[in-house]
Copies of this chain bind each other. A is one copy, B any other.
């Protein structure tokens, strides 16, 4: 199909498709003439993946490029691929050196991970994200206690067991794409359901009578 048809089917403006082509997020089409190219189903599919990561996952373009490169790298195993996708998601925060609050929170997280027996990298963005949130809560006079963190860790563990073991049948490219998509796009599902659950509990406890 021509770029105009691709634009229509994916509901993405032609200028945006050209931007993704320039940025290397989409592979070039089959050349038809000096100025025209033909695009296939795999372009449509990749375009939908990019739009979902941008709009729903709010993943930056540079991070999407790293995720797509990992999906396309046939030599990469599933564990490394998931790690690459998570690393690309960020956040990329440099923990401040010699900050006693960061040090204390880091030790609390490491103690929790040790107790849980989780095999994870201390340098992963998720580790830093967790430490940063704990530091912020403490500085606002709301120190997290270990029982709280264990409660969240238990819920997370339960979800992850369900999520990671799920690898769909089919060719490797489709399977790894599905795993990455599910990892990213179930984050808004989880956050949205948590907010809706809070609204419901709040209506029951506080609604109309405080």
A185 interface residue (CB < 8 Å to B): yes
- Identical copies of this chain, number: 2
Interface of A is mostly: helix
Most buried by B among A149, A161, A190: A190
User: Within 8 Å CB of A192, what residues of B?
Assistant: 126-127, 129-130, 133
Interface segment among A18-26, A32-40, A200-208: the answer is A200-208
Q: A161-B201, A207-B79 are in contact. Are A134 and B189 (CB under 8 A)?
A: yes
What distance in Å separates the Cβ of A90 from its nearest Cβ neighbour in chain B? Answer: 11
A34-85: which have CB < 8 Å to B?
45, 48-49, 51-52, 55-56, 77-79, 82-83
Known A118-B200, A125-B195, A133-B185; 10 more pairs at CB < 8 Å: A52-B136, A52-B137, A56-B132, A78-B206, A86-B195, A129-B191, A130-B192, A136-B185, A160-B201, A163-B201
A residues with CB within 8 A of B: 45, 48-49, 51-52, 55-56, 77-79, 82-83, 86, 89, 113, 116, 118-121, 124-127, 129-130, 132-134, 136-137, 139-142, 144, 149, 151-153, 155-165, 177-178, 181-183, 185-208, 210
